[in-house]
Amino acid sequence: MVFDPDLAPGGYAYFFVLGGWGTLGLALLDGYGKLEAQFEKAVVRFQKIEPFTIESSRPGYSYMNFFLHGSSERGSRLFAGEAGGFQDYLFGLGIRYALVSGHLAARSLIEKVPFDELWRKRLLRGMRSSLGARLLYESLGRHGLRQFVSQAKRRDFREFLHSWARPSWWRLALRPIAERVFGKADSCGHKIPCTWCRPREGRAGKPEPLPRDFVARYLEE
């Protein structure tokens, strides 16, 4: 993984290989207009670390969906996973949130317990805390990233990431500040009433347009 604000503003680049198959990805929080050029730079960066050749590449695009809301129920419909904004906002990790919220939604239907009650108890603190963690991650810049990587080196990386995903009082305390610093989108397309989501380019104001063919290509995939 490469954490470099010039290569992946607010995000990271990653290259995972298993049995000759690889995924080389770039996660950005800003600068979508330069997505493709930045991706090429990421390929070059990884090739410098360990030379490799690419055969039968399959490009793909996606985006993450994190938002805070008061209720994940709309009429008789329950919104689980990213559709309900459930995600860890620090690094955009949502698989566990999707599984847990899906399980809670099923329990709500079977046991006739309000879904909102279940997810608030189990997931809300973690989501709020991840907002505080992201504020810290983005504010500390290269110095913070260096500290982060050097701490990661000394521990099992999975356990280390898990410790960041767990709610903590100080990350929760940072959450209101994070909401103020990041700004709040004036409008969004979320299907349930959203109490907070971030404007696309990361600051309040006019969203940065996506590359012209981004949506078309994403839909093709």
Ligand X SMILES: Cc1cc2nc3c(=O)[nH]c(=O)nc-3n(C[C@H](O)[C@H](O)[C@H](O)COP(=O)(O)OP(=O)(O)OC[C@H]3O[C@@H](n4cnc5c(N)ncnc54)[C@H](O)[C@@H]3O)c2cc1C
Q: SS3 for 195? A: strand
Of residues 25, 144, 167, 211, which one binds ligand X by CB under 6 A? Answer: 25
Q: Is 35 one of the binding residues for ligand X (CB under 6 A)? A: no
Q: How many chain residues touch ligand X (CB under 6 A)?
A: 12
Q: Is 93 one of the binding residues for ligand X (CB under 6 A)? A: yes
Q: Is 202 one of the binding residues for ligand X (CB under 6 A)? A: no
Q: Is 98 one of the binding residues for ligand X (CB under 6 A)? A: yes
Of residues 11, 94, 126, 199, which one binds ligand X by CB under 6 A? Answer: 94
Q: SS3 for 68? A: strand
Q: Is 81 one of the binding residues for ligand X (CB under 6 A)? A: yes
Q: Is 38 one of the binding residues for ligand X (CB under 6 A)? A: no
**Cβ of residue 82: shortest distance to ligand X, in angstroms?**
4
Q: CA 79 to CA 67: how far, in whole Å?
A: 12
Estimate the crossing angle of helix 115-139 against helix 157-165, to 10 degrees. Answer: 110
Backbone angles phi and psi of 159, in degrees to 5: -65, -40
**Cβ of residue 212: shortest distance to ligand X, in angstroms?**
21
Q: CA 125 to CA 132: how far, in whole Å?
A: 11
Q: Is 95 one of the binding residues for ligand X (CB under 6 A)? A: yes
Q: Is 1 one of the binding residues for ligand X (CB under 6 A)? A: no
Dihedral sign from CA coordinates of 128, 133, 136, 137? negative
Name residue, tokens 């709610």: 167
Binding residues for ligand X, rule: CB under 6 A, are 25, 62, 81-83, 87, 92-96, 98
